[in-house]
Every structure is written in C-alpha cells, then in structure tokens.
Amino acid sequence: MSNIVNLNGDEVLSPREVSQDAVNTLKDLLERAESGELVAVSGVFTHKDDCVEYFGAGKIASYSMMGAIYGLIAKINMLMEDGNECQ
C-alpha cells in the first residue's frame, strides 16, 4: 500500500472528508455545461484547511450574475445569523 501525498509531495496524514453534496452539485453542473445549458459559472469554494477562493468562468459579466451573487451573500448571512456558521 502506498502513501497518499498532496500535489506538493507532502504526505496526507488523515483521510479527507468528502462532501457528497459538493460532489453531486459539481457533477450536475458539469453535465449541464457539457450539454451547452450553462454558459457561465461563478462561485466560492472552501478547501480542507478553511482557505476560501472564488472563481468565474464563461460569460460572467452581467447584471444578472451580480444579482445572483448578492442573493448568495444574503443566504450565507442568513445562515450565519441563525448560528449555522461552519466551525
């Protein structure tokens, strides 16, 4: 049995928890993009070490995309106010 390593070669000391919800969502988005249904995507993701990044690809420069992002911000704020902040 071989050791599991990160891309930089460091050994992974503990198994990573897989978010099946995240995996299913990404699979669905990939299918929709491959069929031509999605022409742009933007979002935020959190790494195992709680580092957070954002991304955008495709035709993201639109007021509709900005409105959707503001909706996501409102949803995250609501969840945090209800005490659902991830620890």
* Residue 51 pLDDT exceeds 80: yes
- Determine the Cα–Cα distance for residues 34 and 53; give it in Å rounded to an integer: 24
Question: Could you tell me which residues are beta bridge partners of residue 45?
Answer: 53
pTM across the whole model? 0.69
Output phi, psi for 82, to 5 deg. -85, 5
pLDDT, tens digit (0-9, with 9 covering 90-100), for 65-78 = 999 999 999 999 99
Residue given tokens 């957070």 in the structure block: 52
Q: CA–CA separation, 42 vs 72, rounded Å? A: 11
Give me the torsion for CA of 39, 42, 43, 45, rounded to 10°. 90
User: Does 87 have pLDDT greater than 60?
Assistant: no
